[in-house]
Amino acid sequence: MSADQNYTPPNDMPPGPIYPMLAGQKALVTGASKGLGQAMAIGFAEAGADVLVNYRGDRAGAEDTVQMIEKLGRKAVAFEADVASEEQTQAMFRCMIETFGRMDICVSNAAVQMNAPVDEMTLEQWQRVIDVNLTGTFLCAREAIRQFKKQGVDRSISYSMGKLILISSVHDIIPWEGHANYAAAKGGMMLFMKSLAQEVAHLRIRVNSIAPGAIRTPMNVEKITSPEIYQQQLLNLIPCKRIGEPEDVSRLAVWLASDQADYIHGSTIYPDGGMLLYPGFIGAG
Ligand code: BGC
C-alpha cells in the first residue's frame, strides 16, 4: 500500500472542557447510599448530572445522598434493588428511564466483602460475593448497553453513545489471602470489562474501570479507627502515606465519564496512592 502524502485522518475529538462537565447528563450509580457510590453520585451532580441512587437496605443513607444532590440543584431518585437479582436490576433501569428519560452514565459500584480462608469459606460466602460483585456487574452492564444502543449518540449531550464505569479494586491484580472470593470477582471483572470494551468501542460506548486502593469508606472502618492498624499496617502498603478519600475516586469518575476522556476505552485506572508499586521493596530490595 502506498502512502498518500496529502491524506490526514479526520479529527473527531470533542472540544476542551466545558463546565459543568456533565451538564444535562443522567447517571445511575449502584451502591450509592454510602462510601464511594455516594461520593460519585454527589460528584456527578456537582458536574451537572441528575442521578438515580441505587441502594440495598440502607434507605436512610440513600435519602441522604438524594438530599445532598437536590441541594446542588440537581434531580435524584432513590431506588432499592439487589444487583444480584436480574428482575430487580431490570426494574431499576426501567425506573431510570421513567424518571429521567435516558441514561448517559452507568456506574457499577455495589460490592460486598465476606472474608474467610478458603478452607473455611462457605459456599454461601463464595456465591454471594460472586453474585453481587461479578454477576451484578454483568446485569448492570447488559442493561446499560441495551439502553445506550436504543438511544444512539446525541452530540449535544456527549460524543459517546454511553459511558459504563466499573468500580473494581487493586485486588484485580494484587492477591489477597482471606479474601479469595473478593479477589476472584475483581479479577473476573477485569477481563469482563476489557472484553465488553472491545465489543462496543466501535459504537463509541466507553467501558472502563476504576480500581481503588484503601479509601476512607465504611468498608474500611477498622483500618481507620485503629491507629495501630492504620499506622503500622495500612500505611506500609501505601507509598504516598495517606489513606485515599472518596473524592480521590469521585473526581476521577467525573473526568472518566466526561468527554475529556473520549479516547479512554478498556482502561483500568488505579487511584491507590501507589499501592501497586510493590511497597515491600521500599528500602528492602
Ligand atoms: C477493599 C478495601 C481494601 C483495599 C486495599 C479494596 O478493594 O475494599 O477494603 O482496603 O482494597 O486492600
- The pLDDT tens digits for 167-221 are 999 999 999 999 999 999 999 999 999 999 999 999 999 999 999 999 999 999 9
Mean pLDDT value across residues 116-120: 98
74-99: average pLDDT: 98
The residue whose CA is least distant from atom 1 of ligand 1 is 214
End-to-end CA separation in angstroms for the chain: 50
Would the pLDDT of 2 be above 90? no
| Nearest residue (CA) to ligand 1, atom 9 | 220
Say if CB 53 and CB 107 are below 8 A apart: no
Supply the CATH classification number for the domain 26-216+245-272.
3.40.50.720
| Residue nearest ligand 1's atom 3 by CA | 214
Separation of 182 CA from ligand 1 center, angstroms?
10
Q: Which atom of ligand 1 is nearest to the CA of 234?
A: 10
Atom of ligand 1 nearest to the CA of 275: 5
Q: Give me the percent of the chain exceeding a pLDDT of 70.
A: 100
pLDDT band at 83 (very low <50, low <70, confident <90, very high): very high
Give me the pLDDT at residue 28, please.
99
In angstroms, the CA 159 to CA 130 distance is 33
Q: Say what the alpha-carbon torsion angle 19, 20, 22, 23 is, to the nearest 10 degrees.
A: -110
* Four-residue CA torsion sign, 144, 150, 153, 157: negative
Q: Where are the domains of the chain?
A: 26-216+245-272
182 part of the active site: yes
Describe the strand order of the beta sheet including 26-29 as a list of residue ranges. 76-80, 50-55, 26-29, 105-108, 162-167, 205-210, 268-269
Burial of 97 (0-12, 13-18, 19+ CB in 10 A): middle
pTM for the model stands at 0.97
Residue 285 has pLDDT above 90, yes or no: no
Atom of ligand 1 nearest to the CA of 174: 12
Catalytic residue among 55, 159, 182, 278: 182
As given in the structure block, the three cell numbers for residue 24 are 444535562
pLDDT digits (tens, 9 = 90+) for 37-82: 999 999 999 999 999 999 999 999 999 999 999 999 999 999 999 9
* Ligand 1 center from residue 214 Cα (angstroms): 5
Ligand 1 environment, Cβ below 6 A: 169-171, 213-214, 219-220
Nearest CA to ligand 1 atom 2: 214
Summarize the confidence of residues 141-159 as an average pLDDT.
98
Q: Which atom of ligand 1 is nearest to the CA of 186?
A: 7
What's the CA-to-centroid distance between 260 and ligand 1, angstroms? 28
Q: Which helix (H) or strand (E) holds 135?
A: none
DSSP 175-238: --TT-HHHHHHHHHHHHHHHHHHHHHGGGTEEEEEE---SBSSGGGHHHHH-HHIIIIIGGGG-
Average pLDDT (230-239) is: 95
Q: Which atom of ligand 1 is the closest one to the Cα of 176?
A: 12
Residue 179 has phi, psi (to 5 degrees) of -135, 35
Q: How far is the CA of 213 from the centre of ligand 1 (A)?
A: 6
Determine the average pLDDT of the residues in 141-145. Answer: 99
Identify which of 34, 170, 226 to mutate to test ligand 1's pocket (most ligand atoms within 8 A of the CB): 170
State in Å: Cα 272 to ligand 1 middle.
Answer: 10
- pLDDT surpassing 80 at residue 8: yes
pLDDT at 217: 95
Q: Which helix (H) or strand (E) holds 107?
A: strand 105-108
Q: What is the 53 CA–ligand 1 centroid distance (Å)?
A: 23
Average pLDDT, the chain: 97
